[in-house]
Amino acid sequence: MTSNSLITVINDLEYHQFDVSSQDEFNQISSLISEHLSEPYSIYVYWYFLNTWPQYCIIVREKDHSTIIGVIISKVEPHRNVRMRGYIGMVVIEPKFRKLGIGKSLVKLTIQKMIEVDNVDEIMLETEVINDKAINLYQNLGFLKVKRLYRYYLNTHDAFRLILPIEEKATTRIAFLPPIEQA
Ligand SMILES: CC(C)(COP(=O)(O)OP(=O)(O)OC[C@H]1O[C@@H](n2cnc3c(N)ncnc32)[C@H](O)[C@@H]1OP(=O)(O)O)[C@@H](O)C(=O)NCCC(=O)NCCS
């Protein structure tokens, strides 16, 4: 953990940007995720997200700094070359630290950063249709259910796709949007 990775402190808990060079951080977040998300993610999926968008992996540490108790992993990419789309890939909070507002803080920090740094037009994610906790969390932040994806997960559960519209572009048909200007 490097001190310049600190993003903010909320309720005495430190929110840090993931350190790509730290094997220990990688081991902790990958075991947190594999223990608590139903979908098995390969090492390639982790490295795709973490190496390309380390700025969108935020971790929360226990007060004594030893253990990672929460993580969110996301990315931002152009969608069909007309909208900037943020995508929240994984969010997990260690069970004994749930219902304390940590998940909500991680999602809010990610949304804020995606808007400030990448001017996203919308933010998307999928979650299991039976995951009431996650659906409540996202809907309370303004995400809308836009699609039900049949047998989306390996455990055969359906998913809801949710989108948080940020800019008007998010609600305009793709065919009516001009291509994103290249920098
Ligand atoms: C979903 C999860 C990330 C929520 O994290 P958390 O830190 O407990 O959530 P918060 O305390 O910030 O709560 C935020 C909101 O989520 C919803 N929520 C959280 N726990 C809930 C529960 N047990 N029942 C119903 N809603 C719940 C509520 O809307 C809550 O807002 P409120 O406190 O104002 O009512 C956490 O339960 C978790 O890690 N679950 C397993 C992994 C997972 O399902 N990840 C999401 C996959 S997309």
From the CB of 92, is ligand 1 less than 6 Å away? yes
Residue type present at position 177: L
Q: Taking the domains of the chain in order of start, what are their residue ranges?
A: 3-176
Fold of 3-176: Aminopeptidase (3.40.630)
Long-range contacts at 171-177 (CB < 8 A, ≥ 24 apart): 174/80, 174/82, 174/83, 177/82, 177/83
Q: Mean pLDDT throughout 62-90?
A: 95
With cut-offs at 50, 70 and 90, classify the pLDDT of residue 65: confident
Residue 141 near residue 45, CB atoms below 8 Å: no
**Best of 33, 36, 94, 98 to mutate for ligand 1, by most ligand atoms within 8 A of CB?**
98
pTM for this prediction: 0.95
From the CB of 98, is ligand 1 less than 6 Å away? yes
The structure tokens listed for 40 are: 């098995």
With cut-offs at 50, 70 and 90, classify the pLDDT of residue 64: confident
Q: Which residue has the higher pLDDT, 94 or 1?
A: 94
Per-residue pLDDT tens digits for 162-181:
999 999 999 999 999 999 97
> 13-17 and 6-10: which strand pairing?
antiparallel
Q: Mean pLDDT throughout 120-131?
A: 97
What per-residue confidence (pLDDT) applies to 34? 94
